[in-house]
């Protein structure tokens, strides 16, 4: 071993390939860095992977770039992590695409961030999915925008989801539509809100429905209004209720009527009361009756009275019994009389007695005889004297004797004398003794003698 230590660099170059190939790992390790640097490419070429693996990090760093370039794949695989990390950026730059393609994930991970940043786009292009998967988040962060831009969609898709956050926002923004298309659902889910916000609108619009399903609530909430407006109707149609609920009110306001019209019942059911309240009358007007009927009953209170006022008869017809019952009095009073008159008896039955009592006299007067005759006795009992006074003779005539008997005695005085005079014998028979006792003398006088 001492003999080899004493050899000059000139003598080292004169060693035959047979002699070099016969060196033990101990002898290889005993070589000075100057001696290692003196080895010719031919001599380097005959070293076994075990001999190369025995080199100290300082010895590996002494290899000439021309020597590194001639290493075979088997020799390259013999390099250990400490040796790879010891290479200069110049040496790393001398690695061929064939050599880099032979790197194991451990070897790839051994590259320093400085070395990673020094690799050419051609060198990076040589990495297969196995090598790309070996990149650490620190290495990914070290890559320049140009380097990231040179990766194929297959390579981008090979980045581990756990390392995807290593991409700088500038790198995310520079990704092409093709590269973004290569992202897996797991990778998209792993993106931070800041990274998601860095996606170009064209890239976001190009995401498949499967990829979109991978977006988490925090990512969706981080999107700008411009990005939200870039989402296609096809994309919005696959949102889960949770994803829809994650959109901010600012994003909701930015959606076009076309986008809103493309929402399915699942998405509409996910809208929160705050989101519904943020919708403009134009946006509300773009919803179909089916969409209106899909709004969660618990969130109906979020609809502004101005929005309810512009609902069409068709949209109002889409309201379910549960939704109508969930309205507050101010919302109910905001409905147009034509819309109210178009409600089915089943829909009206969804109103509580208190809500019925909140109807304006104009709304009460607009009710059809079919609607009036369909009111439950509990709803009839909720009518105020002013509402009873607003009923037309025709409407009163549509009441059954059971409904007549359900009118609160305290409100009976609201019935007009002309309405009382038009009551049939059957209707009058429905009056209770308490109701009769509550009638004024003028009302009593208006009743037909035959009815009495």
Q: Mean pLDDT per segment of 10 residues, for the chain of length 452 residues?
A: 76 93 92 92 92 92 92 92 94 94 94 96 94 94 95 95 93 93 93 93 91 92 93 92 94 94 92 94 94 94 92 93 94 93 93 95 96 96 95 96 95 93 92 93 81 60
- Whole-number Å distance between alpha carbons of 37 and 12: 10
pLDDT score recorded for residue 3? 67
pLDDT score recorded for residue 452? 58
- Whole-number Å distance between alpha carbons of 443 and 202: 74
- What is the secondary structure of 283-338 as a DSSP string? HHHTS-HHHHHHS-GGGGGGS-HHHHHT--HHHHHT--HHHHHH--HHHHHTS-HH
| Contact (Cβ atoms closer than 8 angstroms) between residue 417 and residue 446 | yes
pLDDT score recorded for residue 7? 87
Evaluate if pTM is beyond 0.85: no
Record the tokens describing residue 92, joined without a space.
């790393």
Record the tokens describing residue 286, joined without a space.
């773009």
pLDDT score recorded for residue 368? 96
Q: How far is CA 287 from CA 265, 305, 312, 392, in A?
A: 11, 16, 10, 35
pLDDT score recorded for residue 373? 96
The residue to which tokens 């010895």 are assigned = 59
CA dihedral 75, 80, 82, 84 (to 10 degrees): 40
User: Which of 424, 430, 377 minimizes the C-alpha distance to 398?
Assistant: 424
Q: How far is CA 139 from CA 53, 116, 130, 449, in A?
A: 24, 6, 15, 100
pLDDT score recorded for residue 450? 53
The residue to which tokens 């956050």 are assigned = 165
């Amino acid at each position: 071993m001492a003999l080899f230590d004493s050899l000059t660099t000139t003598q080292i170059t004169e060693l035959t390939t047979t002699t070099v190939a016969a060196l033990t790992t101990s002898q290889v390790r005993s070589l000075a860095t100057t001696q290692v640097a003196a080895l010719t490419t031919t001599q380097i070429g005959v070293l076994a992977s075990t001999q190369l693996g025995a080199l100290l990090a300082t010895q590996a760093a002494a290899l000439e770039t021309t020597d590194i370039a001639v290493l075979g794949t088997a020799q390259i695989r013999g390099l250990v992590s400490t040796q790879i990390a010891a290479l200069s950026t110049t040496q790393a730059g001398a690695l061929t695409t064939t050599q880099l393609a032979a790197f194991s994930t451990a070897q790839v991970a051994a590259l320093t961030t400085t070395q990673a940043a020094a690799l050419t786009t051609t060198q990076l292009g040589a990495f297969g999915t196995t090598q790309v998967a070996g990149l650490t988040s620190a290495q990914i962060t070290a890559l320049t925008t140009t380097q990231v831009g040179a990766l194929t969609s297959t390579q981008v898709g090979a980045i581990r989801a756990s390392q995807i956050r290593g991409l700088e926002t500038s790198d995310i923004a520079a990704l092409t539509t093709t590269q973004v298309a290569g992202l897996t659902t797991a990778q998209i889910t792993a993106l931070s809100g800041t990274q998601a916000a860095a996606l170009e609108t064209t890239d976001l619009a190009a995401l498949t429905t499967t990829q979109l399903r991978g977006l988490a609530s925090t990512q969706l909430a981080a999107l700008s209004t411009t990005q939200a407006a870039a989402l296609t109707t096809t994309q919005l149609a696959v949102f889960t209720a949770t994803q829809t609920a994650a959109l901010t009110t600012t994003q909701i306001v930015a959606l076009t009527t076309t986008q809103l019209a493309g929402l399915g019942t699942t998405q509409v059911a996910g809208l929160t009361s705050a989101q519904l309240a943020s919708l403009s009358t134009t946006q509300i007007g773009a919803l179909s009756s089916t969409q209106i009927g899909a709004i969660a009953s618990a969130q109906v209170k979020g609809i502004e009275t101005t929005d309810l006022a512009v609902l069409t008869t068709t949209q109002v017809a889409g309201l379910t019994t549960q939704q109508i019952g969930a309205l507050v009095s101010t919302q109910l009073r905001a409905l147009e009389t034509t819309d109210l008159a178009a409600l089915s008896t089943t829909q009206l039955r969804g109103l509580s007695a208190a809500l019925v009592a909140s109807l304006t006299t104009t709304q009460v007067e607009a009710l059809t005889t079919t609607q009036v005759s369909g009111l439950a006795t509990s709803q009839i009992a909720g009518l105020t004297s002013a509402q009873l006074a607003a009923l037309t003779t025709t409407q009163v005539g549509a009441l059954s004797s059971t409904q007549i008997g359900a009118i609160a005695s305290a409100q009976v005085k609201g019935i007009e004398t002309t309405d009382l005079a038009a009551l049939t014998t059957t209707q009058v028979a429905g009056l209770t003794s308490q109701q009769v006792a509550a009638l004024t003398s003028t009302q009593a006088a208006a009743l037909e003698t035959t009815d009495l």
